[in-house]
Amino acid sequence: RRMIKRAVEESTRTVVSPDGWKLCLRDQDSNEFYNLKEDPIETRNLYSDRQCASVISRLAGEIHRWQ
């Protein structure tokens, strides 16, 4: 029940790039970033990994342009 309530109350914007990256930006909860080629079941959230900052920035820019 808690998860359903969270899903209704929170806005999530997601983009999956052709090169296998997935970025989920959320209003209230933690953001998520995955390398779907190496981690297809999304077990390692790379959002805080500094080496991924440029890809995250690029994909976040795409999300913001779509809004």
pLDDT along the chain (67 residues), means of 10: 55 94 92 98 98 98 88
Under CATH, to which class is 2-66 assigned?
alpha beta
Q: What is the pLDDT of residue 8?
A: 55
Neighbours of 33 (CB within 10 A): 22
11 token code pair: 């806005």
Contacts made by residues 41-48, CB under 8 angstroms, sequence distance 24+: none
Say if residues 67 and 58 touch (Cβ distance below 8 Å): no
Give the bridge partners for 25, in sequence order.
13
The Cα–Cα gap between 1 and 11 comes to: 17
Which residues on neighbouring strands pair with residue 34, listed in sequence order? 22
pTM of the model: 0.82
